[in-house]
A and B are shown apart, each in its own frame.
Chain A
Amino acid sequence: MTPDISQNPGAEPASALSNARKVPDISKIIDKIGPLLGLFFVVGLFTALRPTTFPTIDNAQLILLQTAVVAMAALGMTLIIVSGGIDLSVGSNIALCTVSIALLLAKGVSPLLAILGGVVTGMVCGLLIGLLITRLKLSPFIATLGMWGAVRGIAKGMANEQTVVAPETWLNSLLNTLPDNQKWMIFPAGVWMTLLFALFVVLMLRFTRFGRHIFAVGSNEQTARLCGVSVDTTKLAIYVLAGAFAGLAGLLQFSFLTLGDPTTATGMELDIIAAVVIGGASLSGGQGSILGTLIGALIMTCVANGCTKMELANWVQQIVTGGIIVAAVTLDRFRHKAT
């Protein structure tokens, strides 16, 4: 008998397989829109509890403003977590970037160059993390735990342990509520920036080789290496890119504060990680999406905002947020068990 790959008698007919694809798999759909359902639930809950103050256009604007910083930094964190890493230093990095932007502005540098300075600062921090991980073979947790302290220290040193006052420029209004003559913009510039960069990352993850390599490295580093993926270069690029997003988040944070503050964004790294995880990413890598991350960030802001509207004390908000993180990940595990 002449063996022929195309005439294997033991093969399943391909048509039977393609039929299965036509039936929508309900658990798969829930899997995709799980975080979105969570957002609807949170919004619905507060709408029911505070029908006059929560579901207003002004409040929706406010929620978006409050989400922008975390969401911007979470874009980078998503890349890192999908690749199987973690960055605990991003809050410190954001603070350092607000300081460098403020210092540059105070020196009389143009706002655009100051932005560039902030982003480069973030990228240098990212490059350092990447080098620690790829050259010294430190685990991302340890490398960024070290950077968490060191970068915060550098920020305080550069700012002389006080806030850095900057002259007023258009950078201060990126996250202001829009005045009446600019209502046509719908959202403030900072929110548009976040959305644009989110779209950029979505496209990058979906349509570029680098994007798929991020998933491959996170899913199985050894397989990626076997397949000729340059694992170290990929990781380095991920941390540098995430550093750039930390720089942009620093810009938004600066705009919010209108000054450079070396103690700002303390603990924000955990909010950022939480947004990514609520959005369905797996801390063991290989899994996660930008849309999920944005929704995760929105869920967290909605909860904080809604609790404020209900005049709940800050400590209640923190308990609720903690509960949501645990619940989101638990639900995620159930969803994956079901499939």
Chain B
Amino acid sequence: MTSPTPLLEMRGIKKRFGATIALDGVDLQVAAGEVLALVGENGAGKSTLMKVLSGAHAPDEGQMILGEQNYAPKDPLEARRRGVAMIYQELSLAPHLTAAENILLGVEPNTGGVLKRGEMQSVARDALNQVGLSHVSPNTQVALLSVAERQLVEIARAIALNSRVLVFDEPTSSLTQRDIVRLFELVKRLREQGQAIIYISHFLEEVRELSDRFTVLRDGRSVGGGVTSQAKNSDIIAMMVGRSVEDLYPRSVREPGEVVLEVEHLQGAPKPQNASLQLRRGEVVGIAGLVGAGRTEFLRAIFGLDAVKRGKVTLGHFTGNATPAQRWNQGLGMVSEDRKIEGLALNLGINENLTMTKLPAFFNPAQRDKEATTWADKLFVKRRAVTQPIGDLSGGNQQKVAIARLLYHGCDVLLLDEPTRGIDVGSKTEIYRVIDELAREGRAIIIVSSYLPELLGTCDRIAVMCRGVLGEAKPIAQVTEHSIMVEATGTEVHAAEIPHAEAA
């Protein structure tokens, strides 16, 4: 279990916020030239642990040792100076500054406050070269770089200060498949250069590909770990959720009924190009495809959030385009792929978010809260009160509220865009169960997802979107992960390039 000479060791780290125990005894070790994967469900304490490591929070108890010396950074700057650097999940660059200014932000070489431009240039140049951005000038404004390049600039910032420990916090969440492959190569190169790397991820595929060892966090405690190549996926998942995952994709026998939604040659501006689909009662249809293929735009166009250029949408006995308000009235509801930015109003309560689409012009708040409670109970939303701001809930519970909104409204047709993105395995299973239940009740559901096992597990038919064109929806028995990827990329691919099998 223990590596020979750990460069960084965390022992018995505890941290509480008020009454909440975020970390309850975490032990972790990582050696130079090693990749340690840190896995766990959302809310297991990964982020807090990394904040302790990077000096943003001081631990209440426990000890950290870095290179045989005591390590207790008082702020992130001291952590950086000691050689511990973070690469955050959400990009944390200042878009108006140049690459060099970002890389040396807070540690700019200077004499009496006057910047040493030359030194900044050379340090930034070196760092950019190391991460494979030799074509990017240090004077480039960061806003002009692509997402993948920005992430590499972040990594450049991390290693520019002679880092010894690098922490990657779910770095692939905003990257395309090709950029992920490049990122992995870089991580492996950094390991060979003797960096100690902590890699946080939801994706077991990534853990398997990159890490030498892994540590599992659950409920603020390190509950296990080992050598990655000797552990089975099912074992790791069992450690993460604290129980074995059975019946992850509940699926009952469904009887598809009459067609409720028919889309004919739909064209949006600029995506999708051409999309046709028939959806029946009691049926779940999945839409697969690469990021940027136009799947979200397809749903948004049907729902009336984006303009329709050409084509016809028939929903029940309504034909033609409509605004979101009209779609709700017609019994069509949508869950957005981004619950924080679009899906939910974070500082409003569960009650407000749940009932927003169907509020009478004059209403009784007590009655509204009662109804909201009913639906929050049905979907097992864990909460203190139904008036609790939605931002306080975990991602899984937020998503349940977003789905509960459609049920409260009484939607017959549900458009779910990435319904389980960024939520823990337990909540995922609950959402799959709800989806199955809804289909059994005769509702019609479209799911857009980048996570193929989920589509294969929940859908009756799957259609693939490639460059804005939606293919034929084929019965689940006729498709495989491989056939979907072939269609999604428009080319023949190797099995190894199929995107992540996510945790569970």
Contacts and interface: CB of A to CB of B under 8 A. Distances in A.
Most buried by A among B352, B353, B356, B426: B356
Given A215-B352, A229-B356, 8 more contacts: A4-B437, A5-B433, A8-B430, A215-B345, A215-B348, A219-B345, A226-B334, A230-B323
Contact of B343 (A1, A210, A216, A226): A226
Contacts of A223: 336, 342-345, 353, 356
A180 interface: no
Contact of B324 (A8, A11, A225): A225
A27 to B, nearest CB: 10
Contacts of A230: 323, 325
A207 B324 contact: no
Interface stretch (A14-22, A189-197, A262-270): A14-22
B361 A21 contact: no
A226 B437 contact: no
Contact of A228 (B324, B362, B364): B324
25 contacts: A1-B250, A3-B250, A3-B433, A3-B437, A5-B378, A8-B430, A8-B433, A10-B426, A14-B377, A17-B382, A17-B383, A20-B385, A207-B365, A208-B362, A210-B361, A215-B345, A216-B348, A219-B347, A220-B348, A222-B341, A223-B336, A224-B345, A226-B305, A226-B342, A227-B324
Contacts of B353: 223
Contacts of A2: 252
B157 interface: no
A6 interface: yes
Contacts of A253: none
B15 interface: no
B342 A206 contact: no
Nearest to A222: B342
B189 to A, nearest CB: 40
Contacts of B430: 8, 10
B346 A208 contact: no
A224 B426 CA distance: 29
Given A207-B362, A209-B363, A222-B342, A216 B356 contact: yes
Q: Which 10 pairs of residues, A with B, have the shortest CB-CB distance?
A: A228-B325, A219-B345, A3-B250, A220-B345, A11-B380, A222-B342, A227-B356, A209-B359, A228-B328, A3-B433
A20 B384 contact: yes
B357 A228 contact: yes
Interface of A: 1-6, 8, 10-12, 14, 17, 20-21, 206-210, 212-213, 215-216, 219-220, 222-230, 286-287
Interface in B363-393: 363-365, 377-380, 382-385
Contacts of A287: 347
B359 A225 contact: no
Nearest to A212: B359
B235 interface: no
A298 B87 CA distance: 49
Contacts of A222: 341-342
Contact of A8 (B346, B380, B405): B380
A134 to B, nearest CB: 15
Interface in B298-342: 305, 323-329, 334, 336, 341-342
A227 B328 contact: yes
B434 interface: yes
B502 to A, nearest CB: 19
A208 B365 CA distance: 9
Interface string B95-118: 000000000000000000000000
Contact of A207 (B305, B363, B434): B363
Interface string B385-403: 1000000000000000000
B361 A209 contact: yes
B415 to A, nearest CB: 11
A3 B362 CA distance: 37
